[in-house]
Structure 1
Amino acid sequence: MAELTHIAAPEGVAPASGYDHVVWGAGRFVAVSGQIALDEHGALVGAGDPAAQARQVFANLRRCLAAAGATFDDVVKLTYFVTDVAHLPAVREARDEALGAGRRLPASSAVQVAALVRPDLLLEIEAFAIV
């Protein structure tokens, strides 16, 4: 695990809720492509259910990070793409379950999009890590 530095609110920037504005570290950079709520067989998990889809997405992210020798402790940035910002509470709950309560959170961006690659997908999440 890389030693990461977190800055919750740089001088002159309003504090954030649920993420740190700046995170950095030294090590090997790992980029994980946007993950969607498909299981290992390519079947959708959680049709119409943002909480179930978010849990599957974080499970997929965990597997992708592990393939690179990383964990959620190494993640410096998460980007959330949602079809409706009303899904964000479910995404945050799944994130907190996956990353562990009380830990420092990575930098984050959340974007509402008109559509994802399939109409039955409600969210997609990508991750950047330093190992």
Structure 2
Amino acid sequence: MSGAVKLVRNEELSSVAEYAYAATAQAPARVVWTAGACPLDEHGATVAVGDYAGQAEQVMRNLVTALRGAGAELTDVVKTTVYVASTRQEDLVKAWEVVRSHMGGHDAPSTLLGVAVLGYDDQLVEVEAVAVTF
């Protein structure tokens, strides 16, 4: 972690959530906003069709690559939003478990959403992030 990011926990809120409830960034800092990372391979094809966890793995690999290109890493992330094309909570959980495993001990605040459809053919998962570095 760059030291610019501090994850904030609050004892007055439930400890059930697998992420901090807030994050702060120390100024002066550089903010990185990513586009939604998608489950696309290097040729632009959607991978792991029909597989929430498989798509989430590719999404997180692509997110790491996008962050690295901007001079950041997962431990610099202050917020993620995880989009899952499903109305079934179990599908959201499958994607979330992969995202959490990639984030490791850096449990930045996150929002997990079930949505009707995502932008690419056969796409089930997308993750966007905001990161802060010095």
TM-score, reference length from structure 1: 0.88
Q: Which runs of 5+ in 2 are unaligned?
A: none
Of residues 22-31 and 52-61 in structure 1, the stretch that sits farther from structure 2 once superposed is 22-31
3-state SS of 1:33 partner: coil
1:117 maps to which residue?
A: 119
Inter-CA distance 16–7: structure 2 relative to 1 (3 Å threshold):
farther
Of residues 52-61 and 85-94 in structure 1, the stretch that sits farther from structure 2 once superposed is 85-94
Give the residue type in structure 2 aligned to 1:117. Answer: G
Q: What CA distance in whole angstroms lies between the structure 1 residues aligned with 2:116 and 2:11? A: 32
Structure 1 residue 97: deviation in Å? 3.2
1:8–1:16 CA contact under 8 A, matched in 2: no
Q: Which runs of 5+ in 1 are unaligned?
A: none
Inter-CA distance 129–10: structure 2 relative to 1 (3 Å threshold):
farther
The root-mean-square deviation of aligned C-alpha atoms, in Å, is 1.6
Q: What CA distance in whole angstroms lies between the structure 2 residues aligned with 1:115 and 1:16? A: 28
Identity of aligned residues (%): 34
Q: What CA distance in whole angstroms lies between the structure 2 residues aligned with 1:83 and 1:123? A: 6
3-state SS of 1:38 partner: coil
TM-score, reference length from structure 2: 0.86
2:100–2:107 CA contact under 8 A, matched in 1: no
Structure 1 residue 36: deviation in Å? 1.0
1:30 maps to which residue?
A: 32
